[in-house]
Structure 1
Amino acid sequence: MYPTELPASPVRPLDRHPAARLAVTLACAGACALAGAQQPPAPGAAPTLAPVVVTGTRSEKPLDETPIRTEVVDGAEIQRTHARTLKQALEDVPGLQLSEVHGKSGYEVSLQGLTSDQVLVLIDGLPITASTGSTVDLSQYLLTEVDHVEVVKGAASAQYGSSAMGGVINVITRPIAPGFSGEAVLDLGSHDGQNPSGRSLDPASRHARVRLDGGNVNWRYRLSGDVLHDAGFAIDPSAWARQGDAVRRGQLGARLEWLPAASTRLWLDASRYQENDSQRFNYFAPPNDVPQSKDEAITRNRLGWGGRWRGDGGLSAEVKGVSERYASDSDTYSNAFLQQSRQAAQRTDHVTAQVDLPAWRNQLWQFGLDLHRESLAQSADGSTELSGGRVRRASNELFAQNDILWSDTWELLLGLRGQHDSDFGAHFAPKASLRAKLWDGPDWKGALRASFGRGYRVPNLKERYFLFDHSALGYMVIGNPNLKPESSTSLQLGAQLSLRERLNLDVNLFDNRVSDLIQVDEANATSVNGITHFTYQNIARARTRGLEALATWRAHAGLRLRAGYTFTQTRNLDTGTELTRRPRQSLRLGLDWQPSPADTLSLRARYQSSELVDTASGGRSPAWTTLDLMFNHQLDRATTAFVGVNNLFNRQRNFGDPTDFGPLAGRFVYAGIRHEFGKTP
């Protein structure tokens, strides 16, 4: 929370007109496109194969043949844009909204107007612990081992169970090849005039990562490390308050694989994440500002394991699991005196197994089960903040899927998941998807997709048991053990059309209806001894619907343009009002231009319309536009130097306006170098 009495950022002309900023963005993109169009076409390149995805069906399928619409952020995009965290890797996915986690320095994600609580984040198909007991902080996963990221929007509960109402984000780690290979990256960055030191040329951000892969036919290994230190930023470096937290992040990982036969793979994976976060802000106690600070130390220890066997004729079996421990210790100070000490500890254990049967009468059957256990303990100044102390939840889930290949044209995917929760009993969620390949000529290809799914989300442990005592500020937030699970119905209808490998068009309509939506019920708040008591309630029915459109054009071998537009309409069906923090329109533009074999220039533009912040007052956060510029130069086959500017026009929220939720960070300039081992210069 930032004080309203902070001085407002100076308003630049383009800040007052988001459309003008977008026009500048388009002008830049167009200029580069025209320049690139003058380059002679490169010799015909070999056709590229469609990437293989697994998230939509829990089985391997080429991206252009999966009946479940899947969007991919590939490794080349991660390298081009110099993403350091999962949050940065996802910034240019159309329709995906990133916002700060309340009271923390991290970011959470929402899809198709559904909240972060309703989006499931996975690492190789296994869940990652929610950093606040409810939502995953995308900044807390560094990208050393990542091959690509798959995004499925809409209800996927027939495949992944509770918490997947809004969709699934699945991080896929890179495979390990025999021999020796790896990567080392080093970069430095500056927040310009907002560096805490007040000096623009100081390296306020330092980042380094290394990955080493090796092995032979039977044994493979990986060692990785990633360190990201950011000193934060302040609109007035001489003042106490910082608008950007100082954060030190580190991630270490090790993986061992055994391949006793060509059909069998066993693996063990261990990682440790550590973070130290420091916030500095003011609390206005009339007539003075009181300096406040909060220091938080976070650790996440993750141990994964698994095995897969592939038989003849398409028979395969896989079992894998993860055990994760997440701990957070935070201390809050006022005028350098300790005011509160809070400790939280979470544990997640998850095992999944599935069997894929050989094709039978044009049908591909899949059966599986998931076993899930989680617990949460949290205390403040030695007193528990959870009703009953440590709280727990367990669920056992079975799923079945039949992929019916009617012909070369029609494919029908049917799924059913049964879930038995320790506190909420049994629930069944069906899903059906249809894909029709309508055009498949030498030039044009086209397909239609339609899907229906039932979503289901069990209230998280904080919503049921949390006791957030903020009596000093006049309120408390109290969990409700009598909450009912949320449920949803998701409809998706889309079409895809492509011209060879030059042009691709993808349009998708979506409609999500949510029942028993869980929110803090402000209307039924009560006052006890002058302290307002808020509690979670199933108080709303909601609907989100809209359109997503994506166009990709490869003008020639050295020029690629991409545009994604999303329109979202949300409604509280009980009150008829718009849902808060859901922008109606968003636009993502991308350009990659290769003027020479060694150089690549990339632009990424983002526009987001205004969003409702407060239903009672009608307050709205203003629209905003940002532009990122990246340049990569290959020094030799194995080494690349790069520079970049994020938020080139320095569009930053007005910190004096509590309804402004525009970009938090202003302009960020950086430079670095990347070297790949195992490549011959």
Structure 2
Amino acid sequence: MSSIFARAARPVLLVACGMPFASSAQSIDSADRHAGTTTLAPVVVTATRASEPLADTIAQTSLFDAQDIADTNASDALGLLALAPGVQITRNGGPGATSGLYVRGASSAQSLVLIDGVRVESAGVGAAQLSQLMLDEIDHIEVVNGNVSALYGSGAIGGVVQIFTKEGGDHPPRVNVEAEYGSYHTQRQQFGVNGALDREGRTTFDFTVSREKTDGFSSIDPALAPGANPNANGYLNESVAATLRHTFSDTWDGGVRFLQSNGINSFDDAYGRPSDLNESHDRVRSASVFANGRLTDRWTTHFTIAQGQDRANIEQNGVYTNRFNSENRQYLWQNDVRLAAGHKLLFGYEHTDQSLDSDQLDAPDRHVNSIFAGYVGRIGASQFQANLRRDQYSDFGGANSYYLGYGYNFDAHWKASASYAASFRAPSFDDLYYPFSGNPSIQPERSHSVEAALQYASSRLGVLRLTAFQTRYSNLIDYVADGSGFYIAQNVGRAKVQGIEGSWAGQVGATDVRASFTLQNPVDETNHEELTRRARRFAAFTAHRSIGHWRVGGEWIVSGARSDYESTLAGYGLVNLSARYDITKSWYVDARIDNLFDKDYELAYSYNTPRRGAYLTIGWRQL
């Protein structure tokens, strides 16, 4: 996957909840550095809701910047996240198919996805459609592993994935285009323009639109599901993203952001007829208006009004059969106060309205009022983080969550850290209201997490980290037989995930390297068995290097066996290769090979995966 923005080292504006931050190519204000500690260039915001160097985060945090997006063979956000430490993905077929994200053994509904700070999950199932989000519209992605509900509320038990769309730069408008063709008759086109609308650079913008279409392959193996249609299942995605930001004065700026991804996915039904034609018409949308102001030299304030939307409408043989349309409306006020050098206080208020329009169930709107506060600071070699949050729900009551973290710098490179956190997941509308299985009296799922880590960081090698973690789940929502043939949602489940996680993002000479491995024990303590679709062992490794006009590299993704609903999925190893050649300063060509050794593997029982594929991209950028 190529990106014309990723070739030169340039500032990248990080934004969360409308807030402007130092770029991933810049360092944070020296007044906030710890004396004697090496401060690395990459800066992230998701781990504390405020900007800090990647090496300073207490929670395990990964950053996939514009260069990482340009290097990867993936075309959507879900594929890129397979390279993140502690992350496993599943797909029920090819591109655009129903998918799953498992962070440290937590389910998709227990791991939160944000787009520019906006929640976009389905109210019905409680998970976001990551397979609908194309990388063409994305500037960078941050992944925080571990229990951080104290920062973001429900669903952040396993962690948070925050996607940041592209921003304009302080330069005249520049155009970029790409066109791709490859296996399964895959076609992709992308057009973008970004820059400043005035000479002073006070008004900047970005506009990106893309289209991807593939004929695909049969999503279900007919040998395992004779009722499935053996035809190829194609996918069409059309996406657009736009950002406009204006600086009103030295102390205030604001703007708007918009992303919409529409997908039409052909899929198979294992319990249908071989002649059935099934399609899912999906949409993910994020829209927000934001304003940021500096009230004093120490106090900044941020306002955001946002809408997140998830739509999934099922069509069978030309007739719509299911409709699930969710909407999240958010209102956020956040304040950051610098108490002294190295000490920051964060506090704010968030209101969320969540609704579901469906022909399968009736659900009242949900209203959530939340207050949160946090502190980050340093005293000598010690680093502290504390967060507390209260969420009050209209349908089941309140939930509290907290996070306590500590880090100690032995010297300029070595750091040890530990944290303890309490978190929750609110019941989804399906859990509460689905006919014959929902239970309006169920309560939130709960979890408690503890982790300890050892980290080495330097500007030469990057960030290396080894983390031991444990999360205990209680009050899990399981569906229990009621004796009349129905399964009713009940708070009866317990689970535990223990593990060791290693990660490295850095360099070996002129080669950019990213590596991760996870050894874990995900156990369903209620039924005394392994949690489904969670491997005990998995790892990923990437290496990319620029040689003259060339950029070459590869990915290696491996996983051990996983249980999957009375079956066992075999382990697998995938190798992907890519090469890019800059023909001129403006023109380039990019080639990639997926699944080099043509491995036959499964991410979900009975569902096929793509075999070896080759793809060629040609692109042009205005200088």
TM-score, normalised to structure 2's length? 0.87
- Partners in 2 of 1:573 and 1:283 — Cα distance? 31
SS of residue in 2 equivalent to 1:357: strand
Contact map agreement 2:520 2:536 (CA 8 A) in 1: yes
Please say if residues 168 and 243 of structure 2, whose CA atoms lie closer than 8 Å, have aligned partners that are also in contact.
no
Q: Deviations over 1:500-532 (max 9, x none)?
A: 5136431011100111111222xx2533xxxx3
Letter in 1 for 2:404: A
Closer, same or farther: CA 555–273 of 1 in aligned 2, 3 Å: closer
Matching of residue 347 in structure 1 with residue 347 in structure 2? no
- Give the structure 1 partner of residue 110 of structure 2: 118
1:56-135 maps to which residues of 2 (within 5 A)? 56-100=47-91, 105-130=97-122, 133-135=125-127
Shift of 1:182: 4.2
Alpha-carbon separation, structure 2, partners of 1:639 and 1:519: 55
Correspondence 1:143 to 2:135: yes
Answer yes or no: is 1:649 the counterpart of 2:597.
yes
Shift of the alpha carbon at 1:96? 0.5
Q: 1:48 to 1:430 in 2, by over 3 A?
A: closer
Residue 176 of structure 1 corresponds to which residue in structure 2?
168
Residue 547 of structure 1 corresponds to: 500
Contact 1:446 1:496 in 2 (8 A): yes
CA distance in 1, matches of 2:78, 2:394: 33
Contact kept, 8 Å, 1:393 with 1:423, in 2: the verdict is yes
Q: Which residue of 1 aligns with 2:439?
A: 480
What displacement does 1:670 show?
Answer: 0.3
Per the TM alignment, residue 649 of structure 1 is displaced from its structure 2 partner at its CA by 1.4
Partner residue of 2:12? none
- Post-superposition CA distance 1:641-668 (Å, at most 9, x none): 110011111222379xx8466x722222
Summarize deviations over 1:338-392 as a string: whole Å, max 9, x none: 5x6222222210111111112248531111111111111211xxxxx21xx2432
1:574–1:302 distance in 2 versus 1, CA, 3 Å: closer
User: Which residue pairs with 2:315 in the alignment?
Assistant: 331
CA deviation profile, 1:445-504 (whole Å, cap 9, x unmatched): 11112111111111011111113xxxxxxxxx6212121110100112111114551364
Counterpart check, 1:526 vs 2:492: no
Corresponding residue for residue 578 of structure 1: 530
The 8 Å contact of residues 621 and 660 in structure 1, kept in 2 or not, is answered as no
Pair 326,282 (structure 1): closer, same or farther in 2 beyond 3 Å? closer
Q: Which 4+ runs in 1 deviate beyond 4 A?
A: 101-104, 280-284, 658-661
- Would the alpha carbon gap of residues 291 and 540 (structure 1) be closer, same or farther in structure 2, given more than 3 Å must change? same
What is the rounded CA distance, in whole Å, between the counterparts of 1:182 and 1:365 in structure 2?
A: 41
For 1:329, the aligned partner's letter is N
Per-residue CA shift, 1:593-624, capped at 9, x if unaligned?
A: 33x2211211101110001223xx5x311111
Residue 262 (structure 1) aligned with residue 262 (structure 2): no
Per-residue CA distance 1:76-105 (angstroms, 9 max, x = gap): 011012532111221211220111269981
Residue 393 (structure 1) aligns with: 366
Residues in 1 aligned to 2:333 and 2:500: alpha-carbon distance in whole angstroms: 35
Match of 1:606 among 557, 560, 570: 557
Relative distance call for 1:552 and 1:431 in structure 2 (3 A) is closer
The answer as to 2:182 corresponding to 1:209 is no
The residue number in structure 2 matching 1:221 is: 205
Flag structure 1 segments of 5+ consecutive residues without an equivalent.
Answer: 1-46, 192-203, 380-384, 468-476
> How far, CA to CA, are the matches of 1:280 and 1:550 in structure 2?
37
Whether the aligned pair in 2 keeps the contact of 1:591 and 1:603 (CA below 8 Å) is yes
* 1:205 positional shift: 0.8
- For residues 99 and 66 of structure 1, the distance between their equivalents in structure 2, rounded to whole angstroms, comes to 28
Query: Which residue of structure 1 aligns with residue 8 of structure 2?
Result: none
Q: Where do residues 354-503 of structure 1 align in structure 2 (5 Å cutoff)?
A: 354-360=334-340, 363-379=343-359, 385-386=360-361, 389-407=362-380, 409-440=381-412, 445-467=413-435, 478-498=437-457, 500-502=459-461
Contact 1:105–1:245 under 8 Å retained in 2: no
Aligned residue number for residue 610 of structure 2 = 665
Residues in 2 aligned to 1:561 and 1:310: alpha-carbon distance in whole angstroms: 38
Give TM-score scaled by structure 1 length.
0.80
Q: Percent identity?
A: 22
| Amino acid aligned to 2:354 | E
- Give the Å deviation of 1:74: 1.2
Q: Who is 2:294 aligned against?
A: 310
Distance in 1 of aligned mates of 2:115 and 2:442: 29
Letter in 2 for 1:369: Y
Question: Aligned to 2:276, what secondary structure does the other structure show?
Answer: strand
RMSD of the alignment, in Å?
2.6
Change (3 A) 1:243 1:654: farther
Is 2:614 the partner of 1:623? no
Evaluate the alpha carbon distance shift between residue 575 and residue 108 of structure 1 in structure 2; reply closer, same or farther with a 3 A threshold: closer
Q: Once the 2 structures are TM-superposed, how far is the Cα of residue 567 of structure 1 from its aligned partner?
A: 0.5
1:201 maps to which residue? none
Letter in 2 for 1:487: R
SS of the residue 1:583 aligns to: coil
**In structure 1, C-alpha distance between the alignment counterparts of 2:179 and 2:409, rounded to whole Å:** 45
Change (3 A) 1:171 1:272: closer
Letter in 2 for 1:230: T
Mapped contact 2:498–2:521 kept (Cα < 8 A): yes
Between Structure 1 and Structure 2, how many residues are aligned? Answer: 576
Structure 2: segments with no counterpart, 5+ residues: 1-37
Judged with a 3 Å threshold, the aligned counterparts in structure 2 of structure 1 residues 52 and 294 are, in CA distance, closer, same or farther, namely same
Partner secondary structure for residue 144 of structure 1: helix
